[in-house]
């Protein structure tokens, strides 16, 4: 983890809206097809809404038609944490911000998308903010 001083749930509740708190701090999921970034093609960097850490780039975003923003790769492997999630009676891999530990969504593999990694990072829009800027290189 990078420099981040852990804060209490009480402090998170002051910083986040109730909906943001539910998803980011309680591993909730926003409803499909309602998120701000589900279909956007705006160029830029997607940051963790809780701490501002850069997590994904628009160049790795693709249309998966699943109801949530989808990326085939994070900005860098050390920017996220992947951990097993056996909730809801299924095996999934949860994606967390490595800096603050906030829940982003889940990553799925082997679904047959035509992407370089065959991975789909299915991320809640409410977990992100988009820093609109041209992507270089």
Selected catalytic residue, list 48, 51, 100, 122? 122
Active site residue 66: no
Tokens of 106: 């889940």
User: Which residue's entry shows tokens 């628009």?
Assistant: 58
The Cα diameter of the chain in Å comes to 43
Pairing of strands 119-123, 128-132: unpaired
Residues forming the active site:
122
């Amino acid at each position: 983890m990078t420099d981040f001083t852990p804060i209490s749930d009480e402090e998170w509740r002051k910083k986040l809206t109730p909906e943001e708190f539910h998803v980011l701090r309680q591993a909730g999921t926003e409803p499909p097809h309602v998120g701000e970034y589900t279909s956007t093609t705006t160029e830029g960097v997607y940051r963790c809404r809780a701490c501002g850490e850069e997590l994904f780039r628009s160049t790795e975003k693709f249309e998966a038609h699943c109801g949530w923003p989808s990326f085939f790769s994070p900005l860098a492997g050390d920017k996220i944490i992947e951990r097993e999630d056996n909730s809801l009676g299924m095996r999934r891999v949860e994606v967390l911000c490595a800096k603050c530990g906030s829940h982003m969504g889940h990553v799925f593999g082997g679904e047959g998308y035509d992407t370089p990694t065959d991975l789909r990072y299915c991320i809640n829009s409410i977990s992100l903010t988009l820093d609109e800027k041209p992507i270089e290189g």
